Amino acid sequence: MKIVAKPIDVLAKFNKEGVPTPIKFKIVGEAEAEVAIKVDRVLTRELEKLAGNKMFIFRCQSAINGVEKVYELKYGLETCKWMLFKI
């Protein structure tokens, strides 16, 4: 997987404890067009503490342009921001 580290817009649902689950996200493609990608499966969810910042790391799988790809999304608990980290 290649590290991308781009901020993204995510549609997510939260459980009663406040733990998010991504449903779909938007990313700006090569032609400066927004591409919406549906999260087909969340493979793993981990809580990471890096430099004092707590983040959820989601390893997900989706069909992107007809090809099944595995990628990582990160959600910062203090900042409430999403990032496409690896694809």
pLDDT at 73 over 90: yes
Q: Which residues fall within 8 angstroms of residue 54, CB to CB, at 6 or more apart?
A: 47, 48, 76, 77, 78
How many CB atoms neighbour CB 54 within 10 A?
A: 13
Confidence at residue 52, expressed as pLDDT on a 0 to 100 scale: 87
7-36 confidence digits (pLDDT tens) = 999 999 999 999 999 999 999 877 788 889
Report pTM: 0.90
Checking if the pLDDT of 56 tops 90, the result is: yes
From CA 37, how far away is CA 63, in angstroms rounded?
A: 8
Nearest Cα to Cα of residue 40 among 56, 25, 28, 23: 23
Interatomic CA distance for residues 10 and 23, integer angstroms: 7
User: In the predicted model, what is the mean pLDDT of residues 42-59?
Assistant: 94
